Chains A and B, each alone.
Chain A
Amino acid sequence: MKYFNLFACCKLVKGSFRSVIIDLQRGIYEAIPNDLYELINVSRGKSKEELENFYEKENHSVIHEYFNFLIDREYGFWCNSLDEFHRFPDIREEWDLPFPLSNVIIDIGSDSAIDYLNLIDQIINLRIPHLQIRALIDIDFSIIESMVIACERSNVNTVQILIPYPKNEVPILRLKKIVRKNVRINSLIFHSSPYSKVVKVIDKLSYIVFTKKHFTSLDDCGIVSKKYFCPNLNHFVESKNFNTCLNRKISIDAYGEIRNCPSMKTSFGNIKYKSLVEVLNEEGFKSLWKITKDKIDVCKDCEFRYLCTDCRANIKDTSNIYSQPAKCNYNPYICKWKGQKGYITVEKWRKNNTQ
């Protein structure tokens, strides 16, 4: 007796129109029909023979095809007994991290009253592993350099710097030296550059990037695209339990306002008068962290919900915090992206289908 077993690292997610199989170990995903999703669910704990009795004879060849596909792609394997089948449990869908916050974004403007080195001290004390420093205007690079140097011997693991292409010449040699010396810096990005170029500093570890893209406002935030899909275990279990965009994130804008994310309206105070720890302990700061994709309108019907990013700042209906990200151009009810033939918006589709 043979029992089909899906590898625990291959997760099925059912959408309104089709499903997706996510290979969390190999970092890939592919769409499958909902029929196959149902078949795998029905097959759990049933032998091949039992399944064949369960389904009409005319379906048997499709079933064989489906199983061949799953074995071929190494999504699953055959167990020789029910006992063996039950020895393979699911992966626990728990998410946790040994830091109170995982990411911090600091925007630097022209407010000289903000003590950036003190802010770095607070970040080090909170042991936040990932830091992004952004400048919207041409600023003195030595401020950023001193912030990075202050991170030495700390838990800050990676630093990403995003600054505008300077009016004066780019001191590329000096910058390369700074990036090489401070191993935490994994990328230094010049936006609004007249050209695109990637300068490798340490192979696979650090880069200086010149991009023509303008970064003058926060409009770039909240884009939903296949490009940003994350087919990995960490993202999968985090999205099952938390809002991947807001969970354990914090940001300080150019005026010192402390927010969960730079694009959110609510400020929890100003860094000039309030510490990060105080904000972290404030009631309400974590209030949106538990808005999972399963609770969000439209997303909860989408097969990509545990692969996708989210955004709670730009949403379709500002009066409903559970509303769909405004910049999502996918319609899960017809499985089409904007631009694809036959695409209609979710709103239009709903209208058509309620009439």
Chain B
Amino acid sequence: MILIVSIDFDQSTYEVANWIKYISNSDLLIINENNHIKELSVTIEPNGESEVKISTSNRAKIDLKAIDSIWMRKGSIIFEDQLNETGISQIDLISKRDISAIIDFIYFLLDSKKVIGELNNAEINKFIVLKEAAIVGLSIPQTLITNRKKYLDKYFKGNYVIAKSISNIQFYTKKFSCNGYTKRIENSIIPEEFIISLTQKEVVKKYELRIFFLNGKFFASAIFSQSNDKTNLDFRNYDQKKPNRIVPYILPKFIEKKLTVLMRKLGLKTGSIDMIVNSNGDYIFLEVNPAGQFGMISKPCNFFLEREIAQNLLSIENGKM
């Protein structure tokens, strides 16, 4: 059986699931908010063995032993109890902690299976990633984490500076929405003191690279976002009328080698890597997202990444490695 942990209405999940069903007769379980865990039984036997049985909203009991491979797409395993809060904050807090411990234990048990993605789903630390990237020999933008203008001025000496999110932000309130996109800092309106921020020297790019990495394989694409004012700092400010060019790209071997070492160091089997090619043709590493979007390069470049992931999950299953 293949397990996919995801969020509701995720297009990539739906497409990978279709490929799995098309390629094989393998059983498939998708856990998300809509199909969360309702019943649970976990044993820890005196001999050290464990047995986990769950049943979800729309399925009969499943023995975790039957799971051969897992794709941690997005989100986490969800328990029905998590969705029912008592309203008493102390109790809800304890309940949250307890559930989190149980889920951690389930992930611990699943760790022996073949997994694509990150089991514990911990967000990756951007600072550690940047430092490791520099250590393996990749170029990175000059980076400063600060909350004072004086340090900005001193470090960047009047160069263009961008601010980007430290963790992945995206939320909506009734009053405003926040997307966490990268923006250029307008030096004239920056106050002396501000919230702690991740700032980098702006890199003048020829094009951006969005690279999907899956078990040692690279699927790279170039995004021509520079010529469009809307997208030159962050291509996610999509221009619907004149969409940016997204075309397949072949990475130089020396970059692939360094990225492979970096991914191994970070313990990532998959992820979406962002890089920039500047006007001199240098490769500059920006970040890696363990659960990054790949649909936006898969379709325009005809990569069939959804099928690739399905095959990956299945070959692992067939091979019983």
Question: Interface majority SS on B: helix, strand, loop or mixed?
Answer: mixed
Contact of A94 among B19, B224, B281, B304 (CB under 8 A): B304
B83 contacts A by Cβ under 8 Å = no
User: How many whole Å from A85's CB to the nearest CB in chain B?
Assistant: 11
Residues in A whose Cβ lies below 8 Å from that of B242: 26, 74
A278 contacts B by Cβ under 8 Å = no
Contact of A25 among B251, B281, B300 (CB under 8 A): B300
Given A25-B300, A84-B281, A99-B18, also A91-B248 (CB < 8 A) = yes
* B250–A9 CB distance below 8 A: no
Residues in A whose Cβ lies below 8 Å from that of B218: none
Given A96-B307, A98-B19, also A88-B248 (CB < 8 A) = yes
* B245–A81 CB distance below 8 A: no
A196 contacts B by Cβ under 8 Å = no
A89 contacts B by Cβ under 8 Å = yes
Contact of A98 among B18, B224, B248 (CB under 8 A): B18
| A window 73-99: CB within 8 A of B | 74, 77, 80-81, 84, 86-94, 96, 98-99
* A88–B249 CB distance below 8 A: yes
Residues in B whose Cβ lies below 8 Å from that of A70: none
Given A98-B18, A233-B302, also A7-B250 (CB < 8 A) = no
B81 contacts A by Cβ under 8 Å = no
Query: Which residue of A has the minimal Cβ distance to B241?
Result: A26
Contact of B22 among A87, A89, A99 (CB under 8 A): A99
CA of A74 to CA of B207, assembled, Å = 14
CA of A96 to CA of B303, assembled, Å = 11
Number of interface residues of B (CB under 8 A): 29
| B window 10-31: CB within 8 A of A | 15, 18-19, 21-23
Contact of A96 among B249, B251, B281, B304 (CB under 8 A): B304
| A window 99-128: CB within 8 A of B | 99-100, 127
A8 contacts B by Cβ under 8 Å = yes
* B281–A81 CB distance below 8 A: yes
CA of A86 to CA of B249, assembled, Å = 9
| B window 252-310: CB within 8 A of A | 252, 281, 299-304, 306-307, 310
CA of A93 to CA of B303, assembled, Å = 10
A237 contacts B by Cβ under 8 Å = yes
* B18–A89 CB distance below 8 A: no
B137 contacts A by Cβ under 8 Å = no
* B247–A91 CB distance below 8 A: yes
Given A7-B247, A25-B246, also A88-B222 (CB < 8 A) = yes
* B307–A98 CB distance below 8 A: yes
* B248–A77 CB distance below 8 A: no
B243 contacts A by Cβ under 8 Å = yes
CA of A96 to CA of B299, assembled, Å = 12
Q: How many A-B residue pairs have CB under 8 A?
A: 70
* B18–A127 CB distance below 8 A: yes
Query: Which residue of A has the minimal Cβ distance to B249?
Result: A87
* B224–A77 CB distance below 8 A: yes
* A98–B247 CB distance below 8 A: no
User: How many whole Å from A338's CB to the nearest CB in chain B?
Assistant: 34
Residues in A whose Cβ lies below 8 Å from that of B222: 87-88
Residues in B whose Cβ lies below 8 Å from that of A8: 247-248, 301
1/0 per residue, CB under 8 A from A, across B205-243: the answer is: 000000000000000001010010000000000000011
* B250–A98 CB distance below 8 A: no
* A127–B21 CB distance below 8 A: yes
Residues in B whose Cβ lies below 8 Å from that of A26: 242-243
Residues in B whose Cβ lies below 8 Å from that of A88: 222, 247-250
Contact of B245 among A74, A127, A155, A237 (CB under 8 A): A74
CA of A26 to CA of B244, assembled, Å = 9
Residues in B whose Cβ lies below 8 Å from that of A93: 302
* B22–A91 CB distance below 8 A: no
CA of A100 to CA of B23, assembled, Å = 10
Residues in B whose Cβ lies below 8 Å from that of A91: 247-248, 301-302
User: How many whole Å from B46's CB to the nearest CB in chain A?
Assistant: 43
User: How many whole Å from A97's CB to the nearest CB in chain B?
Assistant: 8
Residues in B whose Cβ lies below 8 Å from that of A74: 227, 242, 245
User: How many whole Å from A205's CB to the nearest CB in chain B?
Assistant: 14
CA of A86 to CA of B251, assembled, Å = 10
CA of A126 to CA of B100, assembled, Å = 39
Query: Which residue of B has the minimal Cβ distance to A76?
Result: B245
CA of A98 to CA of B249, assembled, Å = 25
1/0 per residue, CB under 8 A from A, across B305-317: the answer is: 0110010000000
1/0 per residue, CB under 8 A from B, across A113-149: the answer is: 0000000000000010000000000000000000000
Residues in A whose Cβ lies below 8 Å from that of B310: 98
Residues in B whose Cβ lies below 8 Å from that of A100: 22
Residues in A whose Cβ lies below 8 Å from that of B243: 25-26
Query: Which residue of B has the minimal Cβ distance to A75?
Result: B245
Given A84-B281, A99-B18, A127-B21, also A94-B302 (CB < 8 A) = yes
1/0 per residue, CB under 8 A from A, across B36-71: the answer is: 000000000000000000000000000000000000
CA of A81 to CA of B224, assembled, Å = 17
CA of A81 to CA of B252, assembled, Å = 14
* B22–A9 CB distance below 8 A: no
Given A86-B250, A94-B304, A127-B18, also A9-B245 (CB < 8 A) = yes
Residues in A whose Cβ lies below 8 Å from that of B281: 80-81, 84
Query: Which residue of A has the minimal Cβ distance to B279?
Result: A80
User: How many whole Å from A268's CB to the nearest CB in chain B?
Assistant: 22
* B302–A98 CB distance below 8 A: no
Known: A87-B249, A87-B252, A100-B22. 7 other contacts (CB 8 A): A9-B245, A9-B246, A25-B246, A77-B224, A81-B281, A87-B251, A92-B303
A-B contact pairs, 9 of them (CB 8 A): A77-B224, A87-B251, A91-B247, A91-B301, A98-B19, A98-B21, A100-B22, A127-B22, A237-B302
Nearest 5 interchain pairs by C-beta: A98-B22, A98-B18, A8-B247, A98-B19, A87-B250
